[in-house]
Amino acid sequence: DYVGKNLPTAPGERVRLRLENVDREPDAVWLIKE
């Protein structure tokens, strides 16, 4: 499914996403600087 959210990132940043209906964990989003 597409939720229509744009999350701009800089070079060296990653986005991690966890969805409750897939992982059985609460929904969460992380922005990780590498």
State the total domains in the chain: 1
pLDDT of residue 20: 77
pLDDT of residue 17: 78
Q: What is the pTM of this model?
A: 0.47
Tens of pLDDT, residues 1-34: 566 778 888 899 888 878 777 767 788 888 788 7
The residue segments making up the domain with residue 30 are: 1-34
Give residues with Cβ within 8 angstroms of 31, minimum separation 6: 7, 9, 13, 14, 15
Q: How far apart are the C-alpha atoms of 15 and 9, rounded to whole Å?
A: 8
pLDDT of residue 21: 77
